[in-house]
Structure 1
Amino acid sequence: MAGKSSVQVAKKRKGGGSQWHKNQGNKSGIETGDWGVFVSCDLGKESKCMPEAVDLFSQSVEPTNDDGHDDKSDSDEDDIEAQIRKEVEGLKPSARKSRPFQAIKMDLPCLSFIRFDKAIDPEKLVYQLCTEAATNPEKKRSRYIQRMTPAISIRKTLSVDLEAFAREILKPHFHSGGGPKKYAIRPMVRSNKKFNRDIVIKTVADVVGPEHPVDLKNYDLIILVTVIQNIIGMSVAGSDYDSLKRYNLAELYNPAPAPEATTEPAKPAEPAESAEPTKA
C-alpha cells in the first residue's frame, strides 16, 4: 500500500502537478497596472469566448507587409538570407516575444479578461472593432463575444485611492485644456463590498469637477468604471458609445431589422378637430 501511494504521488508530481500549475498560471489573475478588455458572453460559453477574443484582437493588430516598395532589388538573396536568420532566431526560446494578448479566466460566470500588451491601446482597438461591425454588420467576425469593456488601467480595490486613480485616468480628457465637456458615468459593480454605484459616481464626479456638466443622454464623453470582485478598471468612451450598442459586438452584428413599409392604401384624411373652443 505504501509503495502504491508513493507511485501515485510521483505521478501527480510529474503529470497532474504540472497541469495544475499550468492552470494556476492561467488563473494568475489581474494585477495592478494591467490594462485590457473585459469580455462578456452567454453562460457556459466562456471557454469558447476567450480564444475567440484573443484571435479577433490578434487579427486586428497584425502588421501589414506594405512598405511602399513594389520593385525587387538586386539584393533579394541577401534579404532572403536575412529573413531566414531572423526566423531561426525567433525559434529560440530566449528570443520568443511575449504574447500581446492573454486570456484570464475570472471566478464569475459569463465574464473574462483579456490582458493587453502595453503597446496596444484597448480603448482604440475596441472602438475600431465596434465601428467596423456597425458599418459592415454582414461581415461577422465573432460568434461568442458580447460586450467588450476596455480598461485603460487596473487597480486592486483594497488598496486603491479611487479619487487619485480617477484623476490619473481622467486628466487627459477633462483637465488638459479645452472647454467644458458634457459627460456621463456608467459604473458596473459586481461582487464587491467596498464600492457601490453611489460611491463610484460621487467620487468620479467630484474629480471631473463642476465646470463640466452632467448629461446622461447627450454626453461628449462617458466614463466607464468596472468594479469586479477585488479589482477596479476605468476608461473613457466617446459620444457614440450608446449608438455602438455599448460596445456589444453581438448586437452590432445582428442589428434590429428595419420596420417593413406598409402596403395598405392610404386612407383619406379626416378633417382636423379645432383645438380652439367653438364660439356661440
Structure 2
Amino acid sequence: MGGNKRKAGKAQEAKDGKKAKTDVHKIGKYLPGGFPIDPKMKGVMVTCARGKEAQAGREACDLLSEYAEKLYGSESVADEPEGDEDESIEDAIAREVAQAKKTKGGKKFLPLMTGTDCVIFIRAMDIEPSSLCHHVLTDLQKSGSKRTRYCQRFIPVDETSYANMDDITVMSERVLKPYFHAENQQPTTFKVIPKIRHNDKVDREVLVKMLASAAGRNQKHSVNLNEPNYVILAEVIKSICFLSVVKDYDSLKKYNIQSIFEAAQKEGKEELKDTSKEDNETVTNNE
C-alpha cells in the first residue's frame, strides 16, 4: 500500500512537471481543509492585502521571533514529552502543534489560515501576545521604520474560544481578570470593539454588553469611548472568538503598522521643517 502511494505521488509530480516545495512555515494538516484554530489558543491576528496571506504569515513569524528573542532571550524551550495511550485528541493536537514550529530564541510561532481573506492567525507558544505586540509596535513607532511589506495590523489574541455566548463568557473571566479584577484593583477606563466575520450566531450588541458588564462588575471602572486606558478587542471568525485587552490602542494607530509608519514619517518631516525654520531665523538674526 505504501508503494502505491509513493508511485501515485511520483506520477502526480511527473504530470505537473514540478517538484513540490517544502515551506518551513507550513504544517500540513493544520492548513486549509478544515478550520485549524481551536479554543484556548493565543497568538497574533495579522491582516494583510488579499492574496498575500502566506507571505504575511512568514513575515510575521520572522518579525515576532526577532522581538521575542530580544525580550525573552535565546534560551531554548525544552521539548514536550511524548503522549501516552490515555491522551485525549485535544491534548495530542496541542502537544503536536507545540512541537511543530521552533524559531529563533526557542520561541515558537505557527501561522494558521483562517479561511478569511486578508486575515491570518499566528499561534504563539510561551509568549504573552499583548506585551509582545505592544513592544513591537512601540519600537517601530520610535524608530520610524516599517519593517514589513505584507503585514498591516498586529492584533494580539490573549485567548480563543468557541463563538457562542456561554464559552465567550467563561473565557472573558480569565482574559479580563488581570486588567480589571486584579488584587488591589484601581478604577480604570475601557471600551469594547467587536468585529464579526462569517458568523450569524453571535449578536454584536449582546457581545458588547456582556464584555462591558464582565469588565466593570463590582468595580468602579467606566466606559470611555475617546481616550480609554484599555480596549477590549473581540474578533469573531466563523466558529471561533478571539479576545484580547490592549493599551495605547489609539496612539499606536489601532495597531496598524502602516499607519504608525506614515505618522512617524510625517512627524519626522514636520520636525525637519521646524528645525530648518529655526536655522533660518538664526541666520537672519546674526545678519
Instruction: Name the residue aligned to 1:215.
Output: 224
| Larger proportion of helix | 2
Per-residue deviation at 1:202?
0.7
Bigger radius of gyration among the two = 1
Q: 1:53 to 1:16 in 2, by over 3 A?
A: farther
Matched residue SS, 2:69:
coil
Task: Output the amino acid matched with 2:124.
Answer: F
Instruction: Name the residue aligned to 1:107.
Output: 115
Residues 1:197 and 2:193 aligned together: no
Per-residue deviation at 1:62?
2.3
Per-residue deviation at 1:140?
2.9
Task: Output the amino acid matched with 1:199.
Answer: V
Instruction: Name the residue aligned to 1:25.
Output: 30
> What are the within-5 Å matches in structure 2 for residues 68-87 of structure 1?
none
Instruction: Tell me the alpha carbon deviations over residues 127-163 of structure 1, each in whole angstroms, 9 at most, x when there is no partner.
Output: 01110111111x3311111011111111112585222
Per-residue deviation at 1:179?
2.2
Contact 2:101–2:110 under 8 Å retained in 1: no
Instruction: Tell me the alpha carbon deviations over residues 154-189 of structure 1, each in whole angstroms, 9 at most, x when there is no partner.
Output: 111258522222122111111123221111111111
Instruction: Name the residue aligned to 2:158.
Output: 152
Instruction: Name the residue aligned to 1:226.
Output: 235
Task: Output the amino acid matched with 1:129.
Answer: V
Task: Output the amino acid matched with 1:109.
Answer: D
Provide the rounded CA distance (Å) in 1 between the counterparts of 2:202 and 2:31: 27
Per-residue deviation at 1:8?
8.6
Instruction: Name the residue aligned to 1:12.
Output: 8
Contact 1:130–1:244 under 8 Å retained in 2: yes
Aligned length: 225
Residues 1:50 and 2:46 aligned together: no
Provide the rounded CA distance (Å) in 2 between the counterparts of 1:193 and 1:103: 26
Q: 1:24 to 1:246 in 2, by over 3 A?
A: same
Task: Output the amino acid matched with 1:26.
Answer: L
Per-residue deviation at 1:107?
0.8
Matched residue SS, 1:147:
strand
Provide the rounded CA distance (Å) in 1 between the counterparts of 2:210 and 2:10: 51
TM-score (norm 1): 0.71
Alignment gaps of 5+ in structure 1: 1-6, 68-85, 91-95, 263-280
Alignment gaps of 5+ in structure 2: 14-19, 21-25, 80-98, 103-107, 275-287
Instruction: Name the residue aligned to 1:174.
Output: 180
Task: Output the amino acid matched with 1:106.
Answer: T
Q: What is the identity percentage for the equivalent residue pairs of Structure 1 and Structure 2?
A: 29
Residues 1:34 and 2:41 aligned together: yes
Instruction: Name the residue aligned to 2:23.
Output: none
Matched residue SS, 1:189:
strand
Per-residue deviation at 1:47?
1.9
Provide the rounded CA distance (Å) in 2 between the counterparts of 1:131 and 1:16: 48
Contact 1:162–1:203 under 8 Å retained in 2: no
Instruction: Name the residue aligned to 1:265.
Output: none
